[in-house]
Amino acid sequence: MSTLTITALQSSLHWLDKDANLAMFDKQLKAITNQPDLILLPETFSTGFAINLDCAEPENGKVLTWLKAQAHKHNAVIAGSVLVAQGDKKANRFYWVKPDGEVSYYDKRHLFRLGSEGDYVVAGQARKVFEINGFKLLPQVCYDLRFPVFQRNNNDYDVMINVANWPAVRRHIWDTLLMARAMENLCYVVGVNRVGEDGNNIAHNGGTAVYDFKGDALTKAKDNTEQLVTVTLEKAPLDEFKAAFPAYLDADSFSLI
């Protein structure tokens, strides 16, 4: 039976201090007592959501080197988003790093207009699906969650991941959309959010959670608390549910330009 064990880190972030963040996550990762297949970190985990400031990594910089070392050390895929230099702008890049050092990535597609993210960040163009343990996973980053067309499951993924810096003031929307995406796409959904106040005085209260394909919560982190959340997903119940309730066969046909 195919299973996938995921550990998500709900954490505060040190504003613009990469060394402090990497040291903090290194300590938190040492507290993992099980053996996850996949470790998830929040959006812009090395800097905070500092899109308008000079904090971008080179494409093969310190943070990616750290991710490779952690993936090897913990014998797990490790993933999270990093601001990476792209010409005179940045990419909000979701890195997917395997224990053998192989790196894949997804660049955030939907840029947060309210925060002027598009003025500083290049929008990703490619929809990516990664594979692990017989599961196919669709990576998404924060604001992507509001745009269901891009996330529509064409029966090509089993788990949707969203890593975020989602503010407390819009927390109800985060919770609701995570559940909705699970139900409408007949998939597991894993949402990983931060806690604490950032350098722009924006508060975040968490909401890290895992939902099954019926929208039921399998596990949730406590609000306003740094916490490791671990869950083991099973492929068979998902496949059985989709066989008994194949709503995806009645989905509207469309294409993305």
108 catalytically annotated: yes
59 catalytically annotated: no
220 catalytically annotated: no
CA angle 130, 94, 58 (to 5 degrees): 130
Say which of 98, 142, 187, 242 is annotated catalytic. 142
User: 3-state DSSP call for residue 200?
Assistant: coil
Distance of CA 10 to the CA centre of its chain: 11
Say which of 18, 43, 55, 90 is annotated catalytic. 43
Q: How far is CA 1 from CA 4, 7, 125, 196, 246, in A?
A: 10, 20, 35, 39, 21
- Report the first-to-last Cα separation within the chain, whole angstroms: 38
Half-sphere CA count of 94, side-chain side, radius 13 A: 30
Say which of 18, 108, 187, 242 is annotated catalytic. 108
Known catalytic residues?
A: 43, 108, 142
